[in-house]
């Protein structure tokens, strides 16, 4: 009697499917994502399971790499104690802005040992035309080291200009270390990176992509944009190294690019330095120790301003979604106004509930999103959330001048957040991200003014008109929303 290979194959497939489903249930933290992966695996034969193994494995449970910089436990303990003492002193010596947000400050300190730093000078930089001249001046002034980490670094005019500046400093004897995301910066791998290495720049890709490992390494990308110079000056925000971020008279208005970045001079730079060194030791062949030159003592960094800064960072290597928690806490602590700009807005239940509660509680909540996105699917998924927010009284504006890529939040004109993280599942769960939190009325008011200026180039969504849109549009958006945990 010949074996029934079809029946055997079906039984084998069901066994494999059952094991994969158990793996999804055990390994996926979010209930929403668990259900999405389960449905995809069950109802899309074979491909659904392959998709999960390509994009769904939860590395937060596996710790992609350790953030431990100090091999000596006594030094590590001393470092933690110094951070605690310094942060507590900053809290005591500063004003009511810090006190009104002390829960946020303590959460970041306890969750990720991110210190609350005073005596910083912070400068708001709008678009590439403000950022890149500032960056080039800071690089030219470097004396000891330059650390640079980018998601997108393209072999275009600004990329080559920045690379030339880095190569020049390397030839002058300044230590230049460069981390580039192997997917986002694939444009520079063959020509520009080898050229930089020949000139003395140490350059390594973050999570190098190989065909066999395409799945996990394509999914978990380093979306950070960090520059640290001499341990005292840093840059962080949404602007990558690409000509598209620079608006000039020769560029058509329909591709105007609105983005926001920060320059930080002072102790606020040190946690960005810490993040860079952790990433460097993970992806490079030349690990570095946390030497004193990388972390100058705060007293050695006198500043003309006393802006308080704290850094929120998270990724597949962190114990918790720190950036999401920090945004939720900032919203929960607000009492008057919340202004949010995000190019990719797929909030998930917790953030959706937080914004809804804030608006129903009488706060003015305004959200600025792109009128046109560079992803139809992501834009459709985002729009599926608008009805709920509009019904709660949230004001939603669609940017019309070009593409708004800034990732910012202003709470009560006292607290400002600028960084790399979008308000979506990918930034909160999958990507390596970093945000700067600035406890300062000056910066918060500047960013609020920028927000209201952007509203002049945006259209406000009318809740009644939006709810009355054709049923098939809403159906497509709701269908896209089902895939939102996977986007």
Structure tokens belonging to residue 339: 């202004």
Residues 6+ apart with CB under 8 A from 55: 215, 218, 219, 486
State the catalytic residue, choosing from 182, 412, 429, 440. 412
Known catalytic residue: 145?
Answer: no
State the catalytic residue, choosing from 405, 424, 429, 454. 405
The SS3 call for residue 441 is helix
Residue with tokens 């999958």: 430
Q: Are strands 337-341 and 202-206 parallel, antiparallel or unpaired?
A: unpaired
State the catalytic residue, choosing from 119, 181, 230, 440. 230
Known catalytic residue: 253?
Answer: no
Known catalytic residue: 197?
Answer: no
State the catalytic residue, choosing from 67, 169, 225, 261. 225
> DSSP letters of 186-198?
GGGTTTHHHHHHH
Structure tokens belonging to residue 9: 């194959």
Q: How far apart are the first and last CA of the chain?
A: 49
State the catalytic residue, choosing from 131, 147, 223, 261. 223
Known catalytic residue: 111?
Answer: no
Known catalytic residue: 453?
Answer: no
Strand partners, 311: 436
Helix axis angle, 471-482 to 376-383, nearest 10° = 110
Known catalytic residue: 182?
Answer: no
State the catalytic residue, choosing from 33, 147, 366, 407. 407
Q: Which of 257, 260, 295 is nearest to 274 (CA)?
A: 295
> DSSP letters of 376-422?
HHHHHHHHTTHHHHHHTT-EEEEE-SEEE---EEEETTTEEEEES--
Active site residues: 223, 225, 230, 405, 407, 412
């Amino acid at each position: 009697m010949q074996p029934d290979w079809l029946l055997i194959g079906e039984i084998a497939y069901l066994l494999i499917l059952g094991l994969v489903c158990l793996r999804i249930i055990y390994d996926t933290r979010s209930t929403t994502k668990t259900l999405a992966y389960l449905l995809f695996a069950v109802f899309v034969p074979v491909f659904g399971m392959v998709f999960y193994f390509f994009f769904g494995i939860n590395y937060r449970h596996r710790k992609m790499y350790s953030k431990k910089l100090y091999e000596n436990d006594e030094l590590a303990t001393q470092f933690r104690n110094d951070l605690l003492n310094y942060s507590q002193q900053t809290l005591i010596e500063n004003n009511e802005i810090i006190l009104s947000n002390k829960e946020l400050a303590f959460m970041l300190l306890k969750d990720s040992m991110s210190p609350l730093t005073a005596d910083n000078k912070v400068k708001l930089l709008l678009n590439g035309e403000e950022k890149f001249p500032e960056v080039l001046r800071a690089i030219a002034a470097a004396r000891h080291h330059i650390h640079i980490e980018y998601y997108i670094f393209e072999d275009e005019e600004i990329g080559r200009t920045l690379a030339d500046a880095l190569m020049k400093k390397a030839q002058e004897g300044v230590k230049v270390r460069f981390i580039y995301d192997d997917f986002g910066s694939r444009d520079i791998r063959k020509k520009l990176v080898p050229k930089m290495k020949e000139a003395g720049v140490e350059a390594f890709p973050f999570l190098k992509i190989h065909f066999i490992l395409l799945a996990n390494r394509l999914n978990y990308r380093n979306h950070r944009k960090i520059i640290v110079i001499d341990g005292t000056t840093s840059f962080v925000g949404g602007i990558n190294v690409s000509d598209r971020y620079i608006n000039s008279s020769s560029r058509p208005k329909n591709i105007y690019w609105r983005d926001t970045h920060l320059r930080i001079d002072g102790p606020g730079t040190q946690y960005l330095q810490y993040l860079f060194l952790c990433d460097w030791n993970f992806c490079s062949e030349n690990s570095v120790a946390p030497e004193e030159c990388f972390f100058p003592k705060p007293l050695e960094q006198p500043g003309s301003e006393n802006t308080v800064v704290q850094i929120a960072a998270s990724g597949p290597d962190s114990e918790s979604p720190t950036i999401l928690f920090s945004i939720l806490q900032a919203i929960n602590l607000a009492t008057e106004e919340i202004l949010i700009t995000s190019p990719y807005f797929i909030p998930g239940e917790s953030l959706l509930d937080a914004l809804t509660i804030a608006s129903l509680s009488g706060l003015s909540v305004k959200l600025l999103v792109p009128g046109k996105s560079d992803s139809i699917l992501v834009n459709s998924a985002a729009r599926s959330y608008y009805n709920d927010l509009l019904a709660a009284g949230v004001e939603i504006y669609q940017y019309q001048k070009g593409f708004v890529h800034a990732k910012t939040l202003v709470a009560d004109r006292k607290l400002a957040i600028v960084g790399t993280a979008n308000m979506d599942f990918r930034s909160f769960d999958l990507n390596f991200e970093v945000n700067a939190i600035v406890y300062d009325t000056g910066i918060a008011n500047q960013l609020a003014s920028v927000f209201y200026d952007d509203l002049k180039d945006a259209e406000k969504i009318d809740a009644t008109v939006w709810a009355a849109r054709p049923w098939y549009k809403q159906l497509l958006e709701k269908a896209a929303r089902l895939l939102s945990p996977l986007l």
